[in-house]
Copies of this chain bind each other. A is one copy, B any other.
Amino acid sequence: MEQTINILKKHGISPSYQRVKIFGYLMETKTHPTAYDIFAKFKSEIPSLSKTTVYNVLSALKEKNLVNEVHIEGHETRFDAEMRQHGHFKCSVCGQVSDLFLTQDLNQILSQKLVIQDIQFNVTGICNQCLTLQNNN
């Protein structure tokens, strides 16, 4: 809470109630929620909350490099406050998205010299839990 507020301040974002809630949630969760997920999560706790606010907050966080967008499938944009380089895994059975830590720095596998701003590494497959369920049926 204090920590969340300090990070926001340090990055020039004044810590409004909604911003602290949303950014705090993104820092503690590993579920890579969509804007709608975040809206649904807080709607009962903050009844006045509007979807526009969620989008506004997310876009402010992104602009200050406090969160990354994750694009794995179609339309859905997910958000992640883990800023260290890592990949994402989406299970095509249960739909969950989890972090994927990698054995190598992704910058090293490029074959061309380019000015890089962002690297995303996204894997789709079947998670071990769903695989076990499938094998038992």
How near does chain B come to A128, taking the closest CB pair, in angstroms?
7
B103/A128 in contact, CB under 8 A:
no
Q: How many of A's residues come within 8 Å of B, CB to CB?
A: 37
- Given A72-B71, A73-B71, A75-B75, verify A111-B101 contact (CB < 8 Å): yes
Q: A115 near B: Cβ within 8 Å?
A: yes
Interface string of A95-132 (1 = CB under 8 A from B): 00000111110101111101111111111111110010
How far apart sit A89 and B119, CA to CA, in the bound complex (Å)?
A: 9
B125/A117 in contact, CB under 8 A:
yes
With both beta carbons as reference points, the residue of chain B lying nearest to A93 in the complex is identified as: B115
Q: A53 near B: Cβ within 8 Å?
A: no
For A126, list chain B residues within 8 Å (CB): 114-115, 117
How far apart sit A112 and B91, CA to CA, in the bound complex (Å)?
A: 14
The contact sample of 19 A-B pairs, CB cut-off 8 A, is A71-B72, A71-B74, A74-B77, A75-B75, A102-B110, A104-B109, A106-B109, A109-B109, A114-B123, A114-B126, A114-B127, A114-B128, A115-B126, A116-B123, A116-B124, A116-B125, A117-B125, A120-B121, A121-B121
